């Protein structure tokens, strides 16, 4: 008799590969990119520098960062053909669906999209160039589509603005103040990578077949779309708006728990303490409020955290990155439909780093299943089957 298969639903606790990209200690609330603590990166780095770190494995020199930033700026604009495709998509289409479609479309205009290179180093650099193109273009795609669905003309990227500030400009038509731009920049840093999460794992599975980088990123976007992954931040803002006031928080949360439903933005598959990214984001809200004004949703969010932690903390359930990023995006005037696409816009640098790592030490990812269906059934001709 065959030995029973040990089942790990959702691959929980299963180590499938070694990685040098991201370290997480969920018990202590530690997150590091390439060994650098997320708090240090949030205080001192920029998204451009963080993207370089993820893609190249080390912090850049000033010259390297300047060149990398200039390369990003040079790739931001959509080509006439790319813009024509974007304009042909339904204005009612969900931004995540548009982003997924446009990443696939961009690949069609890259003559090296699926071109194998004779030397590993050349192939790695070619894939970095593809990654840089996607990092640069995804903000332009999202901002242009948002303006098109509001019957506004898309705005061209601005040469003198940072990655974060340029997105906010293309969205609103106004250059953001320094605090707003820096706050959004840190949000992008915090979302840039997070180990073998569902979307990153999807990208690595696709890459493990030796499919191209564009296909791997498309797989990741489709995975991130789900409300149990990237879609949770949209659910957070809807929950806070539904609660309406701090007086309603306790009965609302108690009702959610009584119905065995999810408190959006609370809990994480990895962290058993407060998500370190949530701590950083909460501190950013204080500074943003000085520029944008105090927002009542923040008061509701703090009350939800207090009640949620009281009721769920003993189970290791605390606020995650979605909880306060949703509040920040709302304060910045970003439509909630863009919350998850912004997650993708930031995470693409991490996805690409993992795809490169997968290519470098590739093994086809092919887990087993525990089959529980019928055994050795006899085929019955269709004329003899009972209705």
SS3 30: strand
Among this protein's residues, is 268 annotated catalytic?
A: yes
Residue 255 and residue 304 in contact, taking contact as beta carbons nearer than 8 Å: no
Residue that the structure tokens 């790739």 belong to: 75
Catalytic residue among 97, 229, 295, 299: 229
Catalytic residue among 146, 212, 322, 354: 322
Beta-carbon contacts of 214 under 8 Å, excluding residues fewer than 6 positions away, are 103, 104, 106, 107, 110, 113, 130, 134
Residue 342 and residue 13 in contact, taking contact as beta carbons nearer than 8 Å: no
Enumerate the H helices of the chain as residue ranges: 38-44, 47-56, 62-75, 80-88, 95-108, 120-149, 163-172, 178-190, 198-208, 213-224, 232-243, 249-258, 276-292, 296-312, 321-331, 339-360
In whole angstroms, what is the distance from residue 52 CA to residue 64 CA? 9
Burial class (CB in 10 A: 0-12, 13-18, 19+), 310: exposed
SS3 37: strand
Catalytic residue among 145, 191, 194, 268: 268
Residue that the structure tokens 């250059």 belong to: 175
Residue 37: phi and psi, rounded to 5, are -65, 140
In whole angstroms, what is the distance from residue 119 CA to residue 108 CA? 23
Residue that the structure tokens 């529980």 belong to: 372
Catalytic residues: 229, 268, 322
């Amino acid at each position: 008799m065959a030995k029973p298969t040990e089942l790990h639903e959702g691959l929980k606790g299963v180590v499938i590969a070694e990685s040098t990209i991201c370290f997480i200690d969920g018990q202590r609330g530690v997150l590091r990119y390439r060994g650098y603590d997320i708090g240090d990166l949030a205080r001192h780095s920029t998204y451009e520098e963080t993207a370089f770190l993820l893609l190249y494995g080390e912090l850049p020199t000033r010259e390297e960062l300047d060149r990398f930033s200039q390369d990003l700026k040079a790739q931001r604009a959509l080509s006439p053909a790319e813009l024509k495709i974007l304009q042909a998509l339904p204005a009612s289409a969900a931004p995540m669906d548009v982003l997924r479609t446009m990443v696939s479309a961009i690949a069609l205009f890259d003559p090296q999209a699926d071109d194998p290179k004779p030397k590993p180093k050349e192939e790695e650099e070619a894939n970095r160039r593809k990654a840089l193109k996607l990092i640069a273009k995804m903000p332009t795609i999202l901002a242009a589509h948002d303006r098109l669905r509001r019957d506004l003309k898309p705005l061209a990227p601005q040469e003198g603005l940072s990655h974060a500030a340029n997105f906010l400009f293309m969205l609103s038509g106004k250059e953001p103040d320094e605090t707003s731009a820096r706050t959004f920049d840190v949000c992008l840093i915090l979302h840039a990578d997070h180990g073998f999460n569902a979307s990153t794992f999807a990208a690595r599975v696709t890459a493990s077949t030796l499919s191209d980088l564009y296909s791997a990123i498309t797989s990741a976007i489709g995975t991130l779309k789900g409300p149990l992954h990237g879609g949770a931040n949209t659910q957070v803002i809807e929950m806070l708006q539904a609660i309406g006031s701090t007086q309603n928080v306790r009965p609302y949360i108690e009702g959610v728990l009584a119905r065995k439903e999810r408190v959006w933005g609370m809990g994480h598959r990895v962290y058993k303490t407060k998500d370190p990214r949530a701590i950083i984001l909460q501190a950013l809200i204080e500074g943003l409020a000085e520029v944008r004004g105090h927002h009542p949703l923040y008061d509701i969010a703090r009350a939800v955290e207090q009640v949620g932690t009281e009721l769920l903390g003993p189970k290791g359930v605390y606020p995650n990155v979605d909880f306060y990023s949703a509040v920040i995006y709302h304060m910045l005037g970003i439509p909630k439909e863009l919350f998850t696409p912004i997650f993708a816009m930031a995470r693409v640098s991490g996805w690409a780093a993992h795809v490169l790592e997968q290519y470098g030490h590739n093994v086809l990812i092919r887990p087993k299943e525990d089959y529980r269906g019928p055994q050795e059934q006899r085929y019955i001709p269709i004329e003899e089957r009972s209705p």
